[in-house]
């Protein structure tokens, strides 16, 4: 249900259940978490690109399996929550290529990525409320931080479909491109990130996510600690040397 491929230093993770708009099963969620864990452990991987096979990105939780008397708290604690934390804790950039509709937990998955690039045909639905649920898998944490509380409340309460251009206007996605260019553009962005100072990017990610949960004084201190770490990388040395020698840098990700 999940396809993992390596293209140079980019790990491409594709949700692969197109006949069900890549609806998420327990197996899919475990496979996804494993892929992001593997990305963290593999020094050759310097960026992850997440996308969906077929006409949609992800329809959220598979409602054929999640219904009945299932304990939703247990499902969420065992599958979604560890996945989302694995993604945000991964000290490498994650690009999401949203190739079509994202609904429910499918939106949350996209929100847990660091950069979002959408096809003109992509749409977003905070579908939870439409079936009497609340946004989960980080949906109530990421969305107000990314688009603001007012818009997040509107999307979560009304459950309306948002098209790609409106998603762009509200900052829900970073870029919108024609459908036939999506994978090439997303791959170019992922390859660019993969050639950048990977350690610094990982620390940038940490500083921002941790910064969301702390005071200015705490963030200033965290910046000092993480800057010391970044300052000790070979890529920092190379960056400064390249600047002084007036040539492009060659970063190695360490």
Residues lying near ligand LHQ in the complex (CB under 6 A): 20-21, 23, 59-64, 66, 72, 75-76, 101, 103-105, 125, 127-128, 131, 133, 136
* Sole residue written with tokens 């818009």: 151
The smaller minimum CB distance to ligand LHQ, of residues 21 and 45, is found at: 21
The smaller minimum CB distance to ligand LHQ, of residues 70 and 184, is found at: 70
How many residues are recorded in the chain?
A: 254
Query: Considering the complex, what minimum distance in angstroms separates the CB of residue 93 from ligand LHQ?
Result: 25
Residue whose Cβ sits closest to ligand LHQ = 104
Query: Which residues, 6+ apart, have CB-to-CB distance to 170 below 8 Å?
Result: 147, 148, 151, 162
Query: Considering the complex, what minimum distance in angstroms separates the CB of residue 182 from ligand LHQ?
Result: 17
The smaller minimum CB distance to ligand LHQ, of residues 56 and 197, is found at: 56
Query: Considering the complex, what minimum distance in angstroms separates the CB of residue 125 from ligand LHQ?
Result: 6
The smaller minimum CB distance to ligand LHQ, of residues 21 and 230, is found at: 21
| Strand order, beta sheet including 175-177 | 2-7, 10-15, 47-52, 94-98, 115-119, 175-177
Whether residue 72 contacts residue 22, with contact meaning beta carbons closer than 8 Å, is answered with no
Query: Considering the complex, what minimum distance in angstroms separates the CB of residue 91 from ligand LHQ?
Result: 27
Q: How far apart are CA 84 and CA 33, in angstroms?
A: 8
The smaller minimum CB distance to ligand LHQ, of residues 161 and 206, is found at: 161
Other Cβ atoms within 10 Å of 243 Cβ, number:
11
């Amino acid at each position: 249900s999940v396809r993992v491929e390596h293209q140079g230093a980019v790990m491409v993770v594709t949700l692969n259940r197109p006949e069900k708009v890549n609806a998420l099963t327990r197996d899919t969620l475990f496979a996804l978490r494993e892929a992001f864990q593997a990305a963290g452990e593999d020094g050759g991987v310097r960026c992850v690109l997440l996308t969906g096979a077929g006409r949609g990105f992800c329809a959220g939780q598979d409602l054929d399996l999640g219904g009945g008397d299932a304990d939703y708290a247990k499902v969420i604690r065992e599958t979604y929550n560890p996945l989302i934390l694995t993604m945000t804790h991964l000290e490498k950039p994650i690009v999401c290529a949203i190739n079509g509709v994202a609904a429910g937990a499918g939106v949350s998955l996209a929100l847990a990525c660091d950069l979002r690039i959408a096809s003109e045909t992509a749409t977003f639905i905070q579908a939870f409320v439409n079936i009497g649920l609340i946004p989960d898998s980080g949906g109530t944490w990421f969305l107000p931080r990314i688009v603001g509380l007012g818009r997040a409340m509107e999307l979560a309460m009304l459950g309306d479909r948002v098209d790609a251009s409106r998603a762009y206007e509200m900052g829900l996605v970073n870029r919108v491109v024609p459908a036939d260019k999506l994978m090439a553009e997303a791959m170019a962005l992922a390859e660019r990130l993969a050639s950048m100072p990977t350690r610094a990017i990982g620390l940038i990610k940490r500083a921002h996510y941790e910064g969301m949960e702390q005071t200015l004084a705490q963030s200033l201190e965290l910046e000092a600690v993480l800057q010391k770490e970044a300052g000790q990388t070979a890529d920092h040395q190379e960056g400064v040397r390249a600047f002084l020698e007036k040539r492009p840098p060659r970063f190695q990700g360490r």
